[in-house]
A and B are shown apart, each in its own frame.
Chain A
Amino acid sequence: MNFKFKEVYVFSLAAALPIFIFSYALFGITGIRVVLGIIFVSFPFYVLLNRLELAEGEKFVFSALLGLTALPSLAYILGFLIPFRMAIAASFITLISIAVLFVKCKNSRKEN
């Protein structure tokens, strides 16, 4: 993990703290759970976009937008076959697998 990468993570955690406190103060544990949900749906796209040489702000905004739209859409489609809650988990696993494969592919191409 390089220095810049580490710095982004430390700062993200520090920035998340006031968001969690605010959410709890206003809406209790439900507020925190909603924020965690947004992080959950955005995470696979952040992993994916992290390899695209985008600015940090671009990665955050784009992954949040994709997380709020693409993952729920996939979950909705899978929701015709399995329960919606399971479909959310399945969508997350599918997308994170795609992201990891993409990262591995990029890394091996770089090494070659």
Chain B
Amino acid sequence: MKLNKNHIQTLAFIALYLFAIYFWTQPLQRKLPYGEYDAMSHFEVADYIAYNDKSFMQLPPYIDLRYGLDNRFMPHTLWYPPTFHASLAVAEVFGGDRVIPIFLLNAIMASFILITVYFVINSLFGFLPAILSALLLVFSPRDFMPYLWGQWPERFAYALIPIILYCFYRYFIGYSKENNNPKYLYLSALFLGIIILAHPLAFFHSAAGLLILYVFLALKQKKLAFNLKHALASAAIFLTLFFIFPYQTFNILPQIAGGADESLKQFDLSRIFQWSLDPKDYAGSVPQSYFSFGDMHGLWTLPFLIIGILTLAWRREERDIFMLAWLVSLYLVLHRDIAGKASFLHRSLSASAHIFAPLTAIGAVYLASFIKLPSSFSKWLKYGIAAVFVFLIFSVNMANASKTLNKDTYNDFFSALNGEEYRAAQWSLENIPSSANITILGIPHQEQFQSATSKKIRWFAAVSQHVTRFYYLREDKEELLKSKEWYIMLDYTMLGPLNDKKTFDEMQEFERTKLTNHALVYDKGGIRVYKP
């Protein structure tokens, strides 16, 4: 077999993608679970399926405690369709480990947008804009930050949007009365059904995208691509998928039916001229930098982005219309607060780079064609600009991204489990009856630590698959000590580094005086577990 241009380009993309996986999985080098509360919930669901070797309808108690009412249509069941979590569970089964497979497959699924953007742009505009787009996306904070925070299914769902639009575009372009092969339309319907199983927000985004793309292409080609038979078959494909997990997909309805959001009352006409949102509205939950173009994309990309948009708007070939429809649909989704639907608006902002990156790369690649030069010079100029583009990505975007995403991300003394805690949680899972709960002493519970250490407690619950609570925050301490349902865990691992002799002495005293009717069943690495 001889290597041709396509092979070399594919190998180049594989190299880039492997680098992306390395970059995105740096926190996993510790081989311990990490992330915010959302990450814990997704880990819990996937791990429960794989570890217990079964699907479930009712949430297990340690998940139900927090998420029992998140499904408003059918409380105490999964609040998302299980598609994404079942996929992570399959990875856990194949991987034969509880942490690495889930976090590795999640990184692959969260970064799948690189694959779909590369594939779509390569198909429509060629290799150079495609590989530059993918490289820009590797360091997109609006992608890896929500991935780190734990918005896992949503990250993957966004990767389906370009594919849905691409399939529909192929159908429309190839449509004529004589020759109208519906395979691409059926694929659109199939992926549209899958996206609703992945995340509803991305579904609404793709539905808006399809509508805009249809209108734009119909205007451009002065034709209406509509075949009743195809439309009905596509609807059947979509509805079959929609009804596969009705308890979860119907959970979307109460959300849609919810009243107008607060932001409607404060509607400001100037929003129409703004792309991003007001960081003040999200203070405390999302960092300010998330709303800054410069911090998220790099200010240097702005001229290329504008050139890209203007080039496509001026040229208006079918493939240009595809990109513009994608951009306009994101604009509409981002301004749905005008129609009174402002919930999770900032999450839609996280899809910006998916369209900005290719538009920026297209702008850079087409820039050379604006300068009248002999064709060989023009080609060199194009590659020269691409080289500068790559240099800027590595020197600006990668440097910026590395500050947030590196080996020490979530290597947090207070919020992440340490090795000893992880092993104790694993032991608890294997040895403590599933009906029992665990209460912990030794992990700082005081107000100044609580926002961080609550995460450690939740990670302990996720790994041990048991309801886990701070002992000192319980009001029923005396009853709890008498109960047969509560195991007591004393975690001494944090006290040494904190130099907290007072708590150490208190816990020693607690063991001597309060646990006389309990049996010590685990004593390793500074962690002790007592059985009631």
- A57 to chain B: closest CB distance in Å? 5
Task: Assess whether B123 is in contact with A65, with CB atoms less than 8 Å apart.
Answer: no
Task: Assess whether B100 is in contact with A31, with CB atoms less than 8 Å apart.
Answer: yes
Choice from B7, B89, B245 contacting A84 with Cβ under 8 Å: B89
Task: Assess whether A61 is in contact with B54, with CB atoms less than 8 Å apart.
Answer: no
Choice from B96, B108, B119, B123 contacting A33 with Cβ under 8 Å: B96
7 other A-B residue contacts (CB within 8 Å) besides A30-B100, A57-B122: A37-B95, A37-B105, A41-B90, A52-B183, A69-B84, A75-B86, A84-B55
Top 9 closest pairs, chain A to chain B, by CB: A37-B94, A79-B55, A72-B86, A76-B86, A72-B87, A83-B53, A30-B100, A30-B95, A73-B83
Distance A35 CA – B208 CA, assembled complex (angstroms): 34
| Residue of A31, A55, A61, A83 with most chain B CB atoms under a 10 A cut-off | A61
A61-B163, A72-B87 as given contacts; A84 in contact with B93, CB under 8 Å: yes
Choice from B10, B53, B83 contacting A15 with Cβ under 8 Å: B10
Main secondary structure of the interface of B (DSSP, over half): helix
List 21 interface pairs A-B (beta carbons < 8 Å), by A numbering: A7-B1, A18-B18, A22-B22, A26-B25, A33-B94, A34-B94, A34-B105, A37-B93, A37-B101, A38-B91, A58-B123, A61-B115, A62-B187, A64-B115, A65-B194, A71-B90, A73-B81, A75-B86, A75-B90, A76-B83, A84-B49
Distance A84 CA – B82 CA, assembled complex (angstroms): 13
Question: How large, as a class, is the contact surface on chain B?
Answer: 35 or more
Main secondary structure of the interface of A (DSSP, over half): helix
B97: Cβ under 8 A from any A Cβ: yes
Task: Assess whether A77 is in contact with B55, with CB atoms less than 8 Å apart.
Answer: yes
Q: Mark A15-31, 1 if CB is under 8 A from B, else 0.
A: 10011001000110011
Distance A76 CA – B89 CA, assembled complex (angstroms): 9
A105: Cβ under 8 A from any B Cβ: no
Q: Mark B76-118, 1 if CB is under 8 A from A, else 0.
A: 0000011110110111011111001100110011001001100
Task: Assess whether B90 is in contact with A77, with CB atoms less than 8 Å apart.
Answer: no
Q: Output the nearest chain A residue to B159 by Cβ-Cβ distance.
A: A65
| B residues whose Cβ falls under 8 Å from a Cβ of A | 1, 7, 10-11, 14-15, 18, 21-22, 25, 28-29, 49-50, 52-55, 57, 81-84, 86-87, 89-91, 93-97, 100-101, 104-105, 108-109, 112, 115-116, 119, 122-123, 156, 159-160, 163, 183, 187, 190-191, 194, 197-198, 244-245
Distance A77 CA – B83 CA, assembled complex (angstroms): 10
Task: Assess whether A84 is in contact with B119, with CB atoms less than 8 Å apart.
Answer: no
Task: Assess whether B1 is in contact with A26, with CB atoms less than 8 Å apart.
Answer: no
Contacts of B108 in A (CB 8 A): 38
Distance A19 CA – B105 CA, assembled complex (angstroms): 14
Tell me how many residues of A have a C-beta within 8 Å of chain B. Answer: 45
Contacts of A52 in B (CB 8 A): 183
Q: Output the nearest chain B residue to A27 by Cβ-Cβ distance.
A: B100
Task: Assess whether A18 is in contact with B15, with CB atoms less than 8 Å apart.
Answer: yes
A36-B94, A72-B83, A73-B83 as given contacts; A30 in contact with B89, CB under 8 Å: no
